[in-house]
Structure 1
Amino acid sequence: MFRGRNMSLILFFYIMICVDWGITKSFSNHDSRIIHGHPTSRGEIEYQVSLQFALEASRESSNERTAHYCGGALIAPEWVVTAAHCTIHKDSKKLRVMVGAWDMHNKNNSKYLIDKLIIHDYDEKTKIGDIALIKLKLEGGQSAGTPLKLAPSDFDPTGQSCLITGWGHLKSHENNDPERLQEAKVLVVSPETCKKMVPTKFPLDRHGSSMICAGGSTEDACQGDSGGPLACQKDGEYLLTGIVSWGVGCATEGMPGIYTNVRNYLDWINSTMEANKSS
């Protein structure tokens, strides 16, 4: 007979946690859904990461109740790359990292604590530098899964339909989060085309190479997909090319999604992992 009151209290505390953790992102950051995508096959995307916050934040165990809020990609046995805006102002002790999951609710999913969180110099106004690295707490010699290789500096994805993956709402403005990992294809457009598509009032990097533009039709990423991978192919192999960063709405016709250009940060990624490698 007290179920209604208990559920109201749970909902209240969940909302308070979301506000505290910045889950209610502004319109310019992507939300937790792949728009007009479809479920992946089991074991197809082993590099996908779910960043989660602990609902029982006082516990240090990686097995407590958690909730998904951002994506990421495994790029080395103990390293994950994600968006800076997913990790800035966050307490890494309250974050958990789920790697290689397909069904979000499978109790056997691998979930890890964070050893180190290293955030690039990120400008919240211009959105430049929207990238962060997470070193996982692993046992000696352990690997968290199958990493996604980084695209080389000379790789040009322009004109290619690339893969985006993530969890969240299947439709805008509806709370119908999928249990299984979703995927969609988005077309990478040239910097010149992107400048014409995105109005000047939005924080597109018009003078540098820190961002990639992709989409602009019916498929898109949104909030909660933030930090997730944009994977493009070279010689039949998928490579990490972009990181979901920001956008104007979700699947807004004529407006591409904006991704951090991973190739622009290769030196920082490699030097950071080298400086913080396990002994």
Structure 2
Amino acid sequence: MQSTDRSYFRWYVILLLSVLLFFNGCVCEDKSASEENELCNPDCSEKCGKNANITESTGFLTNRWEFPWSVAIFRDALVAGQMPKHILLCGGTLVGRDAVLTTAECVLHKTTASLRVYVGQWDLGERIEGSEEVCIP
């Protein structure tokens, strides 16, 4: 394999690892999803994106549904004598219905089986918040 082929293959693998699937069932352009999921924003189809009513930004607090394209990427970690825990690795951006863009460093040397991506998870302290786990191919 030539050097350029290896480089292409490496970036292809990194890109594949960066494309992670996960949906919470509420997609702004799909009104029926909002009706089926009580945790979804009932006015999801009305406005999607940054809240126009924010007058002050503290850098810490956001409103639910304010940044629907933002995702959190976790890895599974085994802690001796305890249940597996999800450790926050980094963030990402939802760039399609089933594609997430993140940094290569975030997923480098990680297996897809050890990664978890949460889309629509507003409170990271809540274990289940209207989300659904999807296998990563």
In terms of fraction of residues, the more helix-rich structure is 2
Greater Cα radius of gyration, structure 1 or 2: 1
Normalising to structure 1: TM-score of the pair?
Answer: 0.25
In terms of fraction of residues, the more strand-rich structure is 1
Normalising to structure 2: TM-score of the pair?
Answer: 0.47
